[in-house]
Structure 1
Amino acid sequence: MTETVDRRTVADPAGVADGTPDPRRWLALCIIAVAQLMVVLDASIVNIAIPHAQSSLHISTANRQWMVTAYTLAFGGLLLLGGRIADYLGRKRAFMLGLFGFAVASALGGVAPNAGLLFAARALQGAFAAVLAPAALSLITVTFTESKERARAFGVYGAISGGGAAIGLIVGGILTEYASWRWCLLVNVPIALVTAIAAAPVVRESKASGEARYDLPGALTVTAGLVALVYGFTVAAEDGWSDPRTLGLLVGSVVLLVLFVVIEARSSAPLLPLRVALERNRGGSFLACLLTGAGLFSMFLFLTYYFQQTLGYSALKSGFAFLPFSGGIIVSAGLASQLLPRVGPRILAGSGGLLAALGMALLVGIGLDSSFVAHVLPSELLISFGMGLSFVPLSSVALVGVGAHDAGVASALVNTTQQVGGALGTALLNTVYATAVTGYLVDHHGPRAVAQSQIEGYTTAFIWGAVFIALSAIVVFVLVTAGRDTTSNTEAVPAHAG
Structure 2
Amino acid sequence: MTSTLEPVRAPDTARARRFAALAVICLAELLVVLDNTIVNVALPSIGVQLRTGVSGLQWVVDAYTLTFAGLLLACGNLGDRYGRRRLLLIGLAGVGLMSVAGASAETLGTVIAARAAMGVFAAAVFPATLALIINIFTDARERALAIAAWTAMAGFAIAIGPMSGGWLLEHFSWHSVFWINVPIAAAAIVATLVLVPASKSTTAKRLDPAGITLSITGVTLLVWSIIEAPRHGWTGPATLGGITGAAVLLAAFVAWELRTPDPILDMRLFRNRRFALPALAIAVGYFSLFGFLFLITQYFQGVREYTPLGFGIASLPFAAAVAIGAPIATLLAQRVGATAVIVSGLMLSGLGLYLGGLVDVNSSYLTGVLPSMVSTALGLAIVQGPATESIMSALPPDEAGAGSAVNDTTREIGGTLGVAVLGSVVASYYATTIAPVVDRIPSSFMNEDEKGFARATVLSVLEIRARALPAVLEPQREQLITTMKTTVLHGSHTASLVAAGAVVACALLVAILMPWAPTGGG
Same fold per superposition (TM over 0.5): yes
Query: Residue in 1 aligned with 2:126?
Result: 133
2:305 alignment counterpart: 312
SS in 2 for 1:435: helix
Picking from 288, 292, 317, the partner of 1:295 is 288
Give runs of aligned pairs for residues 158-307 of structure 1, distance below 5 A: 158-200=151-193, 203-209=196-202, 213-307=206-300
1:486 aligns with 2:479: no
CA distance in 2, matches of 1:153, 1:371: 38
Change in 2 beyond 3 A, CA 1:113/1:444: closer
Equivalent residue letter for 1:58: R
Counterpart among 478, 481, 485 of residue 451 in structure 1: 485
Q: Is the 8 A contact 2:283 2:413 kept in 1?
A: yes
Kindly tell me the number of residue pairs found equivalent between the two proteins. 469
Moved more, 322-331 or 408-417: 408-417
Deviation at 1:405, TM superposition (A): 4.7
Corresponding position of 2:8: none
Deviation at 1:166, TM superposition (A): 1.2
Letter of the aligned partner of 2:516 in structure 1?
G
The aligned counterpart of 1:89 is 82
Give the counterpart of 2:105 among 90, 99, 112: 112
| Other-structure match for 1:48 | 41
1:201-260: per-residue Cα shift (whole Å, max 9, x none)? 555544333566111211121111111001101221112012222122111111111111
How far apart are the structure 2 equivalents of 1:218 and 1:25? 35
Paired with 1:208 and 1:120, the residues of 2 have a C-alpha distance of 33
Q: Using structure 2 for the length normalisation, give the TM-score.
A: 0.82
1:285 partner letter: P
Amino acid at match of 1:169: P
User: Normalization by structure 1: what TM-score?
Assistant: 0.86
Asked whether the equivalents of residues 440 and 456 of structure 1 are also in contact (C-alpha less than 8 Å), the reply is no
Deviations 1:54-77 (A, max 9, x none): 112222222211122121222222
Corresponding position of 2:502: 468
User: Conserved in 2, the CA contact under 8 Å of 1:297 and 1:422?
Assistant: yes
Q: Contact 2:145–2:331 at 8 Å: present in 1 too?
A: no
Q: 5+ unaligned residues in a row in structure 1: which ranges?
A: 1-19, 490-498
SS of the aligned residue for 2:106 comes to coil
Alpha carbons 1:397, 1:487 under 8 Å: kept: no
Moved more, 110-119 or 223-232: 110-119
Report if the CA contact (8 A) 2:144-2:389 is conserved: no
**1:294, distance to aligned residue in structure 2 (A):** 1.6
Could you say which residue in structure 2 is the equivalent of 1:6? none
TM-superposition CA deviations, 1:343-395 (whole Å, max 9, x none): 43333322321221111111122222322111100111221232233333333
Residues 249-272 of structure 1, C-alpha deviation per residue, up to 9 Å, x if partnerless? 111111111111112111211111
Please tell me whether the aligned partners of residues 286 and 415 of structure 2 are also in contact (alpha carbons under 8 angstroms): yes
Task: Give how far 1:184 is off.
Answer: 0.9
Contact kept in structure 2, 1:276 and 1:406, CA below 8 Å? no
How big is the shift at 1:189? 1.8
Q: Equivalents in 2 of 1:52, 1:328: separation in Å?
A: 27
SS of corresponding position for 1:65: helix
Q: 1:100 to 1:424 in 2, by over 3 A?
A: same
2:73 to 48, 58, 80: 80
Could you tell me how far 1:426 is from its partner in structure 2? Answer: 0.9
Distance 1:319 1:435 in 2: 27
Percentage identity across paired residues of the two chains: 35
Amino acid at match of 1:325: F
Q: Report which stretch shifted further, 87-96 or 296-305.
A: 87-96
Whole-angstrom distance in 2 between the partners of 1:142 and 1:356: 32
CA 1:144 to 1:331, structure 2 compared with 1: closer, same or farther past 3 Å? closer
Q: Which residue of 2 aligns with 1:495?
A: none
Q: Which residue of 2 aligns with 1:477?
A: 511
Counterparts of 1:412 and 1:151, CA distance in 2: 18
Work out the CA distance in 2 between the residues paired with 1:96 and 1:131.
9
* Alignment match, 1:387: 380
Residues 105, 31 of structure 1: CA spacing in aligned structure 2 closer, same or farther, 3 A cutoff? same
Contact 2:152 2:327 in 1 (8 A): no
* Secondary structure at 2:505 match in 1: helix
Give the residue type in structure 2 aligned to 1:391. Answer: Q
1:297 is paired with a residue of what secondary structure?
Answer: helix
Residue 488 to residue 427, structure 1, CA distance change in 2 (3 Å):
farther
Is the alpha carbon distance of 1:487 and 1:426 closer, same or farther for their aligned partners in structure 2, counting shifts above 3 Å?
farther
Equivalent-residue separation in structure 2 for 1:33 and 1:392 (angstroms): 15
Greater C-alpha Rg:
2
Partners of 1:211 and 1:90 in 2: how far apart? 10
User: Cα 1:452–1:284, aligned 2, differ >3 Å: closer, same or farther?
Assistant: same
Deviates more, 1:391-400 or 1:411-420: 391-400
- Asked whether the equivalents of residues 205 and 262 of structure 2 are also in contact (C-alpha less than 8 Å), the reply is no
More helix by share: 2
Which piece of structure 1 moves more, 151-160 or 412-421? 151-160
**In 1, distance between residues paired with 2:492 and 2:214?**
33
Q: Does 1:354 align with 2:347?
A: yes
Distance 1:149 1:462, change over 3 A: closer
Amino acid of the structure 1 residue aligned with 2:172 = A
Whole-Å separation in 1 of the counterparts to 2:24 and 2:385: 26
Letter matched to residue 136 of structure 1: T
Distance of 1:294 and 1:256 partners within structure 2:
21
Query: 1:338: Cα distance to partner?
Result: 4.9
What letter matches 1:384 in structure 2? A
Q: 2:60 aligns with which of 67, 70, 80?
A: 67
Alignment of 1:423-434 (within 5 A): 423-434=416-427
Q: Could you tell me how far apart the structure 1 residues matched to 2:282 and 2:306 are?
A: 31
Residue 518 of structure 2 aligns to a residue in which SS? helix
The verdict on how the C-alpha distance between 1:356 and 1:150 changes in structure 2, with shifts beyond 3 A counting, is closer
Q: What is aligned with 2:447?
A: none
